[in-house]
């Protein structure tokens, strides 16, 4: 009887050990296999190769294979214009491009962030096709007090002294200045020798390089010779164009303060010009009366006066 009991206990122990072995070894492998099977049956997400920065890349860096890597992104998340192979970037005509903005690690390389092939790390590489870079002279006040940085957008204001011009309101009362908006909403390419849009360095500038059209470059050249140019910093994202005519100080003081034209009642009257024209001379003392022509604004009036009022 005791032998049977011992045998029964031994068999139970063996069965327990077998169950423990199955739970420890076979079941995890079976679960892992089921998970892999389920993953194999699930639809795979399409991944697209995208060329990205292999680390932090500063502004103006010429790119080569060491600066680039290929990452994979879901097809619906790939930025427009992204390159799919490193050779597409460094194989451009003229060689590798330079960065137009600082890049962070794994940031996709886009055509808007790099120059054309073989470009030098200079302002020339950052100019938009069809545009020009034109530099004007400024100072710590006319240059925005050090707050205008590369990448900002500005208006250019011209101040002229027209005191020596006739027919201009205020000319007879001393110095007369006229303010004119030469161009508006232009991008700043550089302040002095700083062209990095990521730069936050502030200093009293001496020059400002602006991105302008060919026509606007001509305007700036003529304006710089006729008066003093200064920069007016625009709010980020601002694109409005103000319709502001040239104005003298007297006109600005009478303006409505809203950047618009002068009110009709405050508009300066046209200067009065008086012209005297003698009639034809005759040897007779009783010659026909002579005419006096008065021109005021666009109105002309002839007044007949006796001949004896004028000397022959």
pLDDT tens digits for range 7-53: 666 667 666 666 666 666 655 555 555 555 554 544 556 899 999 99
Q: What is the pTM of this model?
A: 0.53
Residue 220 above 90 pLDDT?
Answer: yes
Domain-by-domain residue ranges, the chain?
1-31, 47-124, 132-266, 272-309
Residue 233 above 80 pLDDT?
Answer: yes
Class of residue 217 by CB neighbours under 10 A (exposed 0-12, middle 13-18, buried 19+): middle
- The per-residue DSSP string of 22-59 comes to IIIIIHHHHHHHHHHHHHHHSPPPPEEEEEEESS-B-T
What's the chain's length in residues? 312
Residue 92 above 50 pLDDT?
Answer: yes
Q: How far is CA 103 from CA 64, 68, 78, 138, 204, in A?
A: 14, 11, 17, 31, 28
Q: Where are the alpha helices (DSSP H) in the chain?
A: 2-21, 27-41, 86-90, 214-226, 249-254
> What fold, for 47-124?
Type Iii Antifreeze Protein Isoform Hplc 12 (3.90.1210)
Q: How far is CA 76 from CA 47, 70, 80, 108, in A?
A: 9, 17, 10, 14
pLDDT category at 304 given cuts 50, 70, 90 is: low
Which of 92-106, 230-244, 270-284, 287-301 shows the highest mean pLDDT? 230-244
Residue among 151, 220, 148, 209 at smallest CA distance from 183: 220
pLDDT of residue 230: 93
- Mean pLDDT, rounded, for 233-256: 83
Q: What percent of the chain has pLDDT over 70?
A: 62
């Amino acid at each position: 009887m005791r032998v049977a009991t011992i045998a029964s206990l031994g068999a139970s122990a063996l069965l327990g050990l077998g169950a423990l072995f199955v739970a420890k070894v076979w079941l995890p492998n079976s679960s892992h296999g089921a998970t892999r099977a389920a993953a194999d049956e699930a639809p795979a997400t399409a991944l697209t190769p995208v060329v990205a920065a292999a680390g932090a890349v500063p502004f103006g860096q010429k790119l080569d294979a060491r600066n680039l890597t290929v990452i994979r992104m879901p097809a619906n998340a790939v930025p427009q214009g992204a390159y799919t192979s490193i050779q597409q970037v460094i194989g451009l005509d003229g060689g590798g491009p330079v960065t137009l903005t600082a890049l962070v690690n794994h940031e996709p390389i886009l055509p808007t962030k790099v120059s054309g092939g073989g470009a030098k790390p200079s302002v020339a590489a950052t100019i938009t096709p069809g545009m020009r870079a034109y530099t004007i002279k400024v100072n710590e006040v006319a240059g925005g007090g050090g707050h205008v940085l590369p990448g900002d957008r500005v208006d250019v204001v011209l101040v002229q002294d027209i005191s020596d011009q006739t027919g201009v309101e205020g000319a007879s009362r001393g110095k007369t200045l006229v303010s004119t908006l030469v161009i508006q909403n232009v991008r700043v390419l550089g302040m002095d020798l700083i062209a990095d849009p990521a730069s936050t360095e502030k200093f009293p500038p001496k020059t400002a390089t602006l991105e302008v059209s060919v026509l606007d470059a001509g305007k700036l050249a003529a304006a710089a010779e006729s008066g003093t140019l200064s920069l007016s910093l625009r709010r980020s994202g601002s694109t409005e164009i103000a319709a502001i005519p040239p104005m003298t100080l007297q006109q600005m003081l009478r303006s409505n303060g809203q950047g618009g034209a002068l009110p009709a009642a405050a508009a300066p009257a046209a200067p009065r010009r008086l012209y005297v024209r003698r009639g034809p001379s005759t040897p007779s003392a009783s010659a026909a009366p002579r005419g006096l022509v008065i021109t005021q604004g666009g109105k002309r009036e002839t007044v007949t006066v006796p001949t004896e009022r004028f000397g022959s």
